[in-house]
Amino acid sequence: MMSSTRTAFTELPVIDVSGLYSDQSTDRRAVAEALGRAAREVGFFYVTGHKVEMDLRKDLLEQTKRFFEQPVERKMDVYIGKSINHRGYVPEGEEVMVGGKHDRKEALDIGLELASNDPLVTAGTPMVGPNQWPDLPGFRTDVTAYYEAVFDLGRRLLHGFALALGKDETFFDDFVTKPPSQLRLLHYPYDADAEDAQGIGAHTDYECFTLLLPTAPGLQVMNGDGEWIDVPLLADAYVVNIGDMMEIWTNGAFIATSHRVRKVKEERYSFPLFFACDYHTTVAPIPDLIGDGQTANYDPVRAGDHLFSQTVQSFAYLRDRLARGEVTLPEDAKALSSFGQYARHLEAQDE
Ligand SMILES: O=C(O)CCC(=O)C(=O)O
Ligand SMILES: [Fe+2]
């Protein structure tokens, strides 16, 4: 039987994934087993032994600093509210998580670059299409190179998760061809006067899983007892967490863990790559992952609808478009924060 054990973990597992790059299937299986255990017991873990080169990560950070150092008027040249596919600059206060508290963060949202004449784009699919690139030398090249490298790591993890679920490595591949996978460049400014400001409010991620590269501590994840656990910085490691889609596919065996960034003690940058499946993928518990005598714990959702509806409900410019009738919420849109321990431990809110 597949079941998750929502443990009262106090630290995150560390998984060396170098075996995923091996051409020996026993090496890949050994990593997959560790991935499966961490995904079931914690839903959050460090990944070491990856092959995303240091130079790519360094260039990404440098370009990001250059972007955010610009005056706000320059950054607003690529304001996300100018985009029809949710790409661009997210100023402070634009994205509001459940609870409505103001986040001290700004972001630049980048995604898989699809041309405006791509059939998926001409069909009016939300969240896909071209990026709004800032006019900074080398920015697009460096960020694209990083995107491709971290996406390759994501693809290997996807294969590992498939193995961990007793499937062929390529089981999920048909669902990941032109995914609305966002790379966020996040900046949390340090402000000594902002007493109880939060970095980012509690949430789960809406996609399959996330590969996060942080530059400073500040991230916290909620354990099975509803306690916030610090995620210290581990040099060169990624922090990977399960998102809502993997939780549904596994009928809750893999856990989409709630997390947040509290008030930061230093200037902080972080880079989540949200590894999504294609917009039109219907995600439902995989029949043979539903244990004997158990039923499906989740209704089917269209992956893109879930991502889009959560995004519409949390971004000010999209809520305005909704109010003006320019966008509509998918029919079975879930409220914000429907997944994760946070929803199950609401009493721990704002402690
Ligand atoms: O900055 C971080 O460490 C986490 C960011 C995050 O959770 C998100 O953007 O979904
Ligand atoms: Fe997140």
Does ligand 1 lie within 6 Å of residue 143's CB atom? Answer: no
Q: Which pTM was predicted?
A: 0.94
> Which of 259, 260, 339 to probe ligand 1 with, by most ligand atoms within 8 A of CB?
259
Spacing, Cα 13 to ligand 2 middle (Å):
18
Task: Calculate mean pLDDT across residues 267-272.
Answer: 96
Q: Is the ipTM of this complex over 0.95?
A: yes
Spacing, Cα 177 to ligand 1 middle (Å):
24
Side by side, the strands of the sheet bearing 200-203 are: 200-203, 259-261, 219-222, 228-230
45 close to 38: Cβ distance less than 8 angstroms: yes
Residue 192: which pLDDT band, with cuts at 50, 70 and 90? confident
91 close to 103: Cβ distance less than 8 angstroms: no
Q: Which two tokens stand for residue 110?
A: 């980048």
CATH superfamily of 14-350: B-lactam Antibiotic, Isopenicillin N Synthase; Chain (2.60.120.330)
> Angle at CA 145, nearest 5°, toward 142 and 147?
110
- Which atom of ligand 1 lies closest to the CA of 274? 10
pLDDT at res. 274: 98
> Which of 94, 109, 184, 186 to probe ligand 1 with, by most ligand atoms within 8 A of CB?
186
- Which atom of ligand 1 lies closest to the CA of 219? 3
313 close to 244: Cβ distance less than 8 angstroms: no
Identify the nearest ligand to the CA of 105 by its number: 1
Instruction: Output 124 or 193, whichever has higher pLDDT.
Output: 124
Task: Calculate mean pLDDT across residues 248-252.
Answer: 96
Which sequence spans correspond to the domains of the chain? 14-350
Which residues make beta-bridge pairs with 283?
301
- Which atom of ligand 1 lies closest to the CA of 188? 1
